Structure 1
Amino acid sequence: MKITAQEIARISIMAALSFIGSFIMIPLGPVPITLQTLFVLLSALLLSPKGAFFSQLIHLLLSLLVRGLPIIMSPSFGFLIAFLIVAPLISWIKMKGKLRNQSFLIVIATLLIYLIGTPYMAFILNVVLENQLTLMQILLTGVLLFLPGDFLKGIMAVTIAKILASKAIKVKRST
């Protein structure tokens, strides 16, 4: 299956936005709050599974290129891995029509991101950096602090995806 020029443009835009979103941050503990999750969720809602995968692969490669290999040992790297898995998975579920409720898809995506990223964060903090954080401290620093912002980013992603979908329908009808 070929990728069209339009899809390459969309993949590139979502990769760039995801990457740029990582620099818009509020530093809180070992993992900052960033806007990259918003664009990962939009990639899942707007792109094909292949497009969502490539957008997040490019995002990951840009992060490695700019920040260097030491980023692999950062507590937030597990979340980048999660983005690479979750965006195409949610896109695939949406595309197959298994679940059409975008809000519920965003909840699933967010939970999966936490399920993949938080254990990696815990490993880096407790094993590599030799901290002695309890499970509750890990959940606080890796999940609970992020819930309000992720809730808002989820609402924004669903709203933006619906607006863009309605605009795309209007453009197609006028051509």
Structure 2
Amino acid sequence: MNSSRQLQLTVYASLFAALIAAGSYLAIPIGPVPIVLQNLFILLAGLLLGSRWGLASVGIYLLAGAMGLPVFAGGTGGIGRLFGPTGGYLLSYLPAVFIVGWISERAGTAARRILFDIGAMILGSFIVYAIGVPWLSAMTGMAWKKAVMVGMVPFLPGDALKIAAAVPIARTLRPVISGKFTPVCADEYSRS
């Protein structure tokens, strides 16, 4: 990879870290786990940046939050949030973005890409819940069933909408991020 491409991907990873942080400010508190847009940007980071650079973007985001910057849900930060009731969700973003990126990198043809992307995002969301719900149960002392009802069930319709939104967003932005986007000059339209 040449240094220009590496710089580009570093900028994109930083941009996604900022988008993930911005997504945390759009929080609807409904209990110990708020509804946020972070997940959408986590999924998009995996789809658009791949496993390694997506992981870098989430790592930057988590590091910023652990250092006390107010990037977690509701404008909070600090290492204590990583060990609190929602810490499992935050930490699950690392394996989730890696798996989403890894699957997306193997999609191949355009026809297969949409199916791979949807499958990758469903699996990524499952990873978030597989780590976040047991963590929530352990940290709060909630019974397993209650933790599922509080920390997963209310979020499933929103996650379906986020996945549905991520597919066309990824399809639109993928050529730009991959460097295969060719802008159309304004004078080309005037020739028609």
> What TM-score range do you get, normalising by the shorter chain?
0.7 to 0.9
Separation in 1, partners of 2:158, 2:132: 16
Asked if 1:82 is matched to 2:92, the reply is yes
Q: Name the TM-score, length of structure 1 as normaliser.
A: 0.87
Q: Supply the AA of the counterpart residue of 2:39.
A: T
Q: Name the TM-score, length of structure 2 as normaliser.
A: 0.80
The CA RMSD over aligned residues, in Å, is 2.2
The answer to whether the 8 A contact 1:19-1:62 is kept is no
1:18-167 alignment runs, 5 A limit: 18-65=20-67, 66=69, 67-97=77-107, 100=113, 101=115, 102-126=117-141, 133-165=142-174
**Displacement, 1:135?**
2.1
The answer to whether the 8 A contact 1:82-1:116 is kept is yes
Separation in 2, partners of 1:170, 1:52: 19
Q: Give the percent of matched residue pairs that are identical in Structure 1 and Structure 2.
A: 32
5+ residue gaps, structure 2: 70-76, 186-192
The answer to whether the 8 A contact 2:137-2:143 is kept is no
* Cα deviation digits, residues 109-163 of structure 1 (max 9, x gap): 111111111111111111xxxxxx3222111111001111111111111121012
Separation in 2, partners of 1:91, 1:162: 14
2:181 to 137, 155, 171: 171
Separation in 2, partners of 1:28, 1:173: 43
Runs of 4+ in 1 over 3 A off after TM superposition: 97-100, 166-170, 172-175
The answer to whether the 8 A contact 2:21-2:61 is kept is yes
- Secondary structure (helix, strand or coil) at the match of 1:83 reads helix
Equivalent residue for 2:15?
13
Q: Supply the AA of the counterpart residue of 1:68.
A: G
- Secondary structure (helix, strand or coil) at the match of 2:162 reads helix
The structure that has the greater radius of gyration is 2
Separation in 2, partners of 1:117, 1:158: 24
Q: Supply the AA of the counterpart residue of 1:59.
A: Y
5+ residue gaps, structure 1: 127-132
Q: Supply the AA of the counterpart residue of 2:157.
A: P
Q: Supply the AA of the counterpart residue of 1:40.
A: I
Matched length: 169
Separation in 2, partners of 1:172, 1:88: 29
- Secondary structure (helix, strand or coil) at the match of 2:25 reads coil
